[in-house]
Amino acid sequence: TKLFADRIGRIEVSATMAVTAEAAKLRASGVNLVDFGAGEPHFPTPRHIKDAAIEAINGNFTRYTVVSGIPDVRKAIVQRHASDFGSDYTPEEAVFTTGGKLAIFNLVQVLIDHGDEVILPVPYWVSYKDIIQYAGGQVVYLETEEAENFRISAEAVEKAITPRTKAIFLNSPSNPAGSVIAPADLERIVKLAHERGIYLFLDECYVYLQYTGALVSGGSFTEAKEHVIVLGSLSKTYAMTGWRAGYALGPKPIIAAMSKLQSQSTSSTAHFVQKAAIAALSGSQECVAEMRADYLTLRDQVLTRMAEIPGITCTKPEGAFYVYPNVSAYLGKPGAQTTLELAARLLHEGHVVTVPGEAFGTKEHIRLSYAVSHKDVDEGLDRMKAFFAKL
């Protein structure tokens, strides 16, 4: 008899986690690394959010809560979203989850069946593909053009639709390329999905880290609500990655099904984390604006320094905190056939952590997270320049 269930064979270890583990091993052996690998803010969680959690723990908010999150946290989610994006969700249309990743996982598990097609633009965040495959779904990749900033158009989405399409999975601003879907295109995609009876999954975990243009959400188009599910996270917006705080907004029956699944797995998130989330969502948003302003200067610093390396080209990200440079000029040589090999050598010889583009579905790129100090950007790019000069 076989040991493992088929479904666990359909997924791989998250590539970013694998890079983190490899880097940790090197660091433990005493090597000093500049880490552009991890996709997490370098800022500490803002003080008022931490204080709210400390107060909640001391006030004994340390027990189970209702599975989908206490009413006040769901109210805080829908109010924040309504005032920023003009959406009109009720608290029953919101579920609080143990991280945005769990919202994605639960949504896919409750809607995607064996053989269902899910349209996924390339490059994509690593986990979407595996989560869809774990549910038995079929990923339909939608190629985008680097020359167009990896942007997704409504026409391209429409062409990828088949009778088996159950959902379209979008992420804007995107990880890894930082590309943003133009509001007009988003509106057309939302309408298209609604007319065709297809679900639109919109991962908006970087929605507040956008540097140009108006902020829009899939939830802004209230007339198409029935087919839109917004996936949110406090991790990046409020520098709260380790707290595990995320949410989904969508039609009541879908949210109820996600809560049912959650009731048989993680149950509720910690009560004091929910209290901290309320402080984050309902308090001053000044901290978000401050962090965004710093990410913008970091982006420009990375792009300026990257341009000093001959042969490397890089699109200008409009959001999130990643750059996705094209390193094809350095590929195809012995020991650097793929970006997997190149990133490994950059780690071991250059002492810079990056993530190979293979993890995101492209063959000529590496991803750098610039959620690091300005000093680290300079040091890391000095090291990269020296490394590529010798390659």
CA dihedral for 291, 296, 298, 299, sign (positive or negative): positive
Task: Decide if residue 175 touches ligand PLP (CB under 6 A).
Answer: yes
99 makes contact with ligand PLP (CB under 6 A): yes
Question: Which residue, 158, 155, 170, 226, is CA-closest to 197?
Answer: 226
Does residue number 269 form part of the binding site for ligand PLP (CB under 6 A)?
no
For the chain, list the strands marked E by DSSP.
34-35, 94-97, 117-122, 138-143, 165-171, 199-203, 228-233, 246-249, 322-323, 352-353, 355-356, 366-369
Distance CA 365, CA 123 (A): 10
Applying CB under 6 A, does 101 fall inside the site for ligand PLP? yes
Between 235 and 315, name the residue whose CB sits nearer to ligand PLP. 235
Q: How far is the CB of 301 from ligand PLP (least distance, A)?
A: 21
The C-alpha atoms of residue 243 and residue 227 are separated, in whole angstroms, by 29
In angstroms, what is the minimal distance from the CB of 383 to ligand PLP?
24
Q: State which of residues 87, 144, 171, 274 lies at the interface with ligand PLP (CB under 6 A).
A: 171
Q: How many CA atoms lie less than 13 Å away from 276 in the CB half-sphere?
A: 29
Cis geometry, peptide bond prior to residue 173 (ω within 30 degrees of 0): yes
3-state secondary structure of 149: coil
Provide, rounded to whole angstroms, the least separation between the CB of residue 214 and ligand PLP.
21
Select the residue interacting with ligand PLP from 241, 259, 339, 369 (CB under 6 A): 241
* 376, 32 Cβ separation under 8 angstroms: no
- Name the minimum Å distance from CB 202 to ligand PLP: 11
Q: Which of 35, 185, 203, 364 binds ligand PLP (CB under 6 A)?
A: 203
**C-beta separation of 181 from 150 below 8 A:** no
In angstroms, what CA-CA distances link 62 with 46, 54, 159, 272? 21, 11, 50, 6
Sole binder of ligand PLP in the list 235, 262, 269, 315 (CB under 6 A): 235
Least distance from ligand PLP to the Cβ atom of residue 319, Å? 11
Give the pair of three-digit tokens for residue 107. Answer: 């949504």
Using the contact rule CB under 6 A, the part of the chain among 94-102, 209-217, 220-228, 342-350 near ligand PLP is 94-102
* Number of chain residues interacting with ligand PLP (CB under 6 A): 13
| CB-based burial, 236-269: b 16+ in 10 Å, e otherwise | bbbbbbebbbbbbbbbeebbebbbebbeeeeebb
Among 100, 178, 219, 357, binds ligand PLP (CB under 6 A): 100
Output the CA–CA distances (angstroms, integers) from residue 217 to 155, 167, 170, 232, in the order listed: 20, 17, 11, 10
Q: What is the rounded CA–CA span in Å between residue 384 and residue 3?
A: 44
CB of 373 to ligand PLP, least distance (A): 20
Contact with ligand PLP (CB under 6 A) among 205, 255, 279, 377: 205
Binding piece for ligand PLP, criterion CB under 6 A, among 42-50, 97-105, 280-288, 351-359: 97-105
Q: Which is nearer to ligand PLP, 100 or 123 (CB)?
A: 100
- Kindly state the smallest distance separating residue 82's Cβ from ligand PLP, in Å: 21
Are 260 and 109 within 8 A, CB to CB? no
At residue 348, φ and ψ (nearest 5 deg) are -80, -35
From candidates 39, 91, 137, 319, binder to ligand PLP by CB under 6 A: 39
Q: Is residue 246 a contact residue for ligand PLP (CB under 6 A)?
A: yes
218: contact with ligand PLP by CB under 6 A: no
Segment interacting with ligand PLP, rule: CB under 6 A, options 81-89, 217-225, 233-241, 355-363: 233-241
Q: CB under 6 A: which stretch of 21-29, 83-91, 93-101, 282-290 binds ligand PLP?
A: 93-101
* Helix, strand, or coil (residue 369): strand
Q: Does 233 contact ligand PLP by CB under 6 A?
A: yes
Instruction: Kindly indicate which of the ranges 95-103, 266-274, 298-306, 326-334 contains the residues binding ligand PLP, using the contact rule CB under 6 A.
Output: 95-103
Contact set with ligand PLP (CB under 6 A): 39, 99-101, 125, 171, 175, 203, 205, 233, 235, 241, 246
